[in-house]
């Protein structure tokens, strides 16, 4: 197997950091994602829970991670499925209890079948039990059963608080380490290449599905599975924000909007490009495209330490609204239009989101009601768009059915920012040259 970018020592450091935050006398319980049936005996591809993955690097189902912050030091315990030569014939090998110690840096490992037997005693040693309260009904019930068990045991010590784990853990996840940035840079590089291949294939493609195939070919050749169902929307479909059917025919003169990203060691990229199917922007397409691009470039200028998360969005709203007035899609006084949010008819989403192990990654966007300040190590998307619905009566027919979004993945650095997805072309000139084979 290829050497992992995120090393066991980094996972151990994360566990240590979390236990430092929550302090001694605590126990943390995290459950692996469960397998999900697609139909009959067929399962959906398994994807580990991002919080569990962040704390363990362990990507098998049927596991529970227990972190103990005790007076005599911190311990990491993994309950998982033992190695099983018979099952290995069908499913391949598992890490097993030995692997949990040797490859995942655990202090102790136990058979997951012993969970009920051992967990109450581990909880008994703690004042506070941290877990994702309310997120998995069955796990909630299981923890309550263990609590009842302690209540029913003579002289047992009972933890005084059940505390939600998410806030502290997600604060850690918001700031990316060097190794995480490396993984995200690769995910962005591979996705950018996929977008380039889709652009090159578009002039001879007749259906959106063919372009999705180009994306997947690049993803899987680079061992990076998709990070979310891609959007490949030609023509009017580009205006459907969460379009994922990706099976309609591509018509001469369509714009094609592709929103697609992949994962490297669980870390996502999330890139959107919009380009003309035939490699030539029409006048209307170009006018709106240049406007979105101008707002996107200005928004990226707003990504640096000390700026607020919302500053990029504010700049986009100003530029988009002014541009729509200039092009005649909106009428009125600029300030009034902005106050009235008139742009929302054509631009109804925010300019970005945190990016990491989840595509819409965790972390607070506001602190005490104020938009959060950007700090080095945060990664976010910058993705303004314009969507003129095919049946929009507010504008001349020539603008209708044009959907555009341009999205990059941006790392906040000490000096400003780094656009991780910069390899994907986005100027009109670059796109047309690539698609026309120049
Ligand atoms: Mn996005």
- The sign of the torsion formed by the CA atoms of 13, 358, 81, 131 equals positive
* Per-residue confidence (pLDDT) for residue 86, from 0 to 100: 94
Domain boundary among 173, 204, 233: 173
Q: In this structure, is residue 233 part of a structural domain?
A: yes
**399 inside domain:** yes
Q: Are strands 161-164 and 128-131 parallel, antiparallel or unpaired?
A: parallel
Tell how far the Cα of 278 is from the centroid of ligand 1, in angstroms.
25
Residue 18 and residue 131: Cα distance in Å, rounded? 12
Q: Is 360 a catalytic residue?
A: yes
pLDDT band for position 232 (cuts 50, 70, 90) = very high
Residue 3 binned pLDDT confidence (cut-offs 50, 70, 90): confident
Asked about 259 being catalytic, the answer comes back as yes
> Does residue 96 surpass a pLDDT of 50?
yes
What is the 228 CA–ligand 1 centroid distance (Å)? 10
Is 349 considered catalytic here? yes
> Does residue 91 fall inside a structural domain?
yes
Q: How far is the CA of 200 from the centre of ligand 1 (A)?
A: 23
Q: What is the pLDDT of residues 182-224, one digit of tens each?
A: 999 999 999 999 999 999 999 999 999 999 999 999 999 999 9
Query: Does the annotation count 60 as an active-site position?
Result: no
Catalytic residue among 311, 383, 408, 409: 383
pLDDT tens string 275-307: 999 999 999 999 999 999 999 999 999 999 999
Q: Which of 86, 138, 151, 242 is catalytic?
A: 242
pTM comes to 0.96
Question: Based on the domain organization, do 186 and 103 belong to the same domain?
Answer: no
Give yes or no: residues 86 and 195 share one domain. no
CA of 407 to the centre of ligand 1 (A): 7
209 and 136 inside one domain: no
* Domain C-terminal end among 173, 203, 229: 173
Give tens-digit pLDDT for 160-170. 999 999 999 99
19 and 145 both lie in a single domain: yes
Q: Is 387 an active-site residue?
A: yes
- Residue tagged active-site, from 243, 267, 347, 387: 387
Residue 1 falls within a domain, yes or no?
no
Residue 428 DSSP SS3: helix
- CA–centroid distance, 272 to ligand 1, in Å, is 8
pLDDT of residue 89 exceeding 50: yes
Strand partners, 412: 417
Domain residues for the domain of 430 are 175-435
Ligand 1 centre and the CA of 354: distance in Å? 9
Catalytic residue among 145, 167, 360, 398: 360
Picking from 109, 139, 173, the residue at the C-terminal end of a domain is 173
**Is residue 366 in some structural domain?**
yes
Q: Are residues 110 and 142 both part of a single domain?
A: yes
Task: Output the DSSP codes for 310-350.
Answer: THHHHHHHHHHHHHHHHHTSS-S-HHHHHHTTGGGGT--S-
User: 389 and 282: one domain?
Assistant: yes
Single out the catalytic residue among 208, 263, 270, 408: 270
- Whether 158 and 192 share a structural domain: no
26, containing H or E segment: strand 26-31
Residues within 5 A (CB) of ion ligand 1: 270, 381
Residues of the chain above pLDDT 90, percent: 97
Q: Name the active-site residue from 236, 243, 353, 358.
A: 353
Nearest residue to 32 via CA among 4, 55, 6, 8: 55
pLDDT at 438 over 90: no
184 shares its domain with 138: no
Please identify which of the residues 14, 15, 173, 405 carries the catalytic annotation.
405
Distance in Å, CA 352 to ligand 1 centroid: 6
Span 44-70, mean pLDDT?
A: 97
Tell me, yes or no, whether 77 lies in a domain. Answer: yes
Centre of ligand 1 from the C-alpha of residue 107, in Å: 38
- Give the torsion through C-alpha atoms of 261, 44, 266, 6, to 10 deg: -150
pLDDT at 1: 46
Q: Is 289 a catalytic residue?
A: no
Q: 138 C-alpha vs ligand 1 centroid, how far in Å? A: 31
Evaluate whether residue 128 is within a structural domain.
Answer: yes
Number of structural domains, the chain?
Answer: 2
* Residue 2 maps to a domain: no
Q: Could you confirm whether 168 is annotated as catalytic?
A: no
Query: Domain check: are 184 and 109 in the same one?
Result: no
User: Same domain for 372 and 253?
Assistant: yes
What is the SS3 assignment for 266?
coil
Taking a C-beta distance cutoff of 8 angstroms, is the pair 157, 150 a contact? yes
pLDDT digits (tens, 9 = 90+) for 310-331: 999 999 999 999 999 999 999 9
pLDDT, tens digit (0-9, with 9 covering 90-100), for 375-429: 999 999 999 999 999 999 999 999 999 999 999 999 999 999 999 999 999 999 9
Amino acid 72: pLDDT = 83
Mean pLDDT on 40-48: 96
Cα(197) to centroid(ligand 1), Å:
20
Residues 144 and 183 in one domain: no
pLDDT at 2 over 70: no
The Å distance, Cα 52 to ligand 1 centre, comes to 23
Q: What is the CATH number of the domain that holds 375?
A: 3.90.230.10
Distance 187 CA to ligand 1 centre (A): 14
pLDDT (mean) for 126-143: 96
One domain, residues 149 and 185: no
Q: What does the mean pLDDT of the chain come to?
A: 96
- Reply yes or no on whether 148 is catalytic: no
pLDDT for residue 257 is more than 80:
yes
The answer to whether residue 270 is catalytic is yes
The Å distance, Cα 270 to ligand 1 centre, comes to 5
* E-only strand ranges, 329-430: 366-367, 370-371, 379-382, 385-388, 402-405, 408-412, 417-419
Phi, psi of 290 (to 5 degrees): -60, -35
Give the CATH number, domain containing residue 59.
3.40.350.10
Task: State mean pLDDT over 29-33.
Answer: 98
> Per the residue annotation, which of 49, 51, 60, 259 is the catalytic one?
259
Q: What is the pLDDT of residue 316?
A: 98
CA of 89 to the centre of ligand 1 (A): 40
């Amino acid at each position: 197997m290829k050497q992992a970018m995120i090393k066991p020592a980094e996972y151990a450091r994360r566990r240590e950091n979390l236990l430092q935050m929550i302090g001694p006398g605590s126990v943390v319980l995290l459950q692996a994602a469960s397998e999900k049936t697609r139909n009959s005996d067929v399962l959906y591809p398994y994807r580990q829970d991002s919080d569990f993955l962040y704390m363990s690097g362990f990507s098998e189902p049927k596991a529970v991670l227990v972190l103990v912050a005790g007076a005599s030091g911190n311990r990491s315990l993994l309950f998982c499925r033992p190695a099983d030569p018979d099952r290995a014939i069908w499913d391949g090998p598992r890490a097993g209890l030995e692997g949990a110690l040797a490859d995942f840096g655990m202090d102790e490992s136990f058979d997951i079948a012993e969970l009920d037997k051992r967990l109450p005693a581990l909880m008994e040693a703690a004042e506070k039990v941290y877990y994702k309260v309310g997120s998995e009904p069955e796990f909630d019930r299981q923890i309550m059963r263990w609590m009842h068990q302690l209540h029913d045991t003579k002289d047992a010590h009972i933890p005084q608080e059940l505390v939600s784990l998410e806030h502290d853990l997600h604060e850690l996840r918001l700031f990316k380490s060097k190794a995480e940035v490396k993984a995200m840079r690769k995910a962005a590089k591979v996705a950018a290449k996929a977008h380039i291949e889709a652009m090159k294939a578009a002039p001879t493609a007749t259906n959106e599905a063919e372009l999705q195939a180009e994306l997947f070919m690049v993803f899987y050749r680079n061992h990076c599975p998709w990070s979310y169902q891609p959007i490949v929307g030609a023509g009017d479909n580009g205006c459907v924000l969460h379009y994922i059917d990706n099976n309609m025919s591509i018509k001469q003169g369509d714009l094609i909007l592709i929103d697609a990203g992949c994962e490297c060691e669980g870390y996502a990229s999330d890139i959107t490009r919009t380009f003309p199917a035939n490699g030539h922007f029409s006048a209307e397409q170009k006018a709106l495209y240049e406007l979105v691009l101008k707002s996107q470039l200005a928004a990226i200028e707003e990504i640096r330490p000390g700026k607020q998360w919302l500053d990029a969005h504010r700049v986009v709203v100003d530029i988009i609204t002014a541009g729509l007035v200039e092009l005649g899609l909106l009428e009125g006084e600029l300030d009034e239009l902005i106050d009235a949010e008139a742009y929302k008819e054509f631009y109804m989403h925010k300019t970005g989101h945190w990016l990491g192990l989840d595509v819409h990654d965790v972390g607070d966007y506001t602190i005490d009601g104020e938009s959060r300040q950007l700090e080095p190590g945060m990664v976010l998307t910058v993705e303004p768009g314009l969507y003129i619905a095919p049946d929009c009566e507010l504008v001349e027919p020539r603008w209708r059915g044009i959907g555009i979004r341009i999205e990059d993945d941006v790392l906040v650095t000490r000096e400003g920012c780094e656009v991780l997805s910069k390899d994907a072309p986005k100027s009109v000139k670059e796109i047309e040259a690539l698609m026309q084979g120049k």
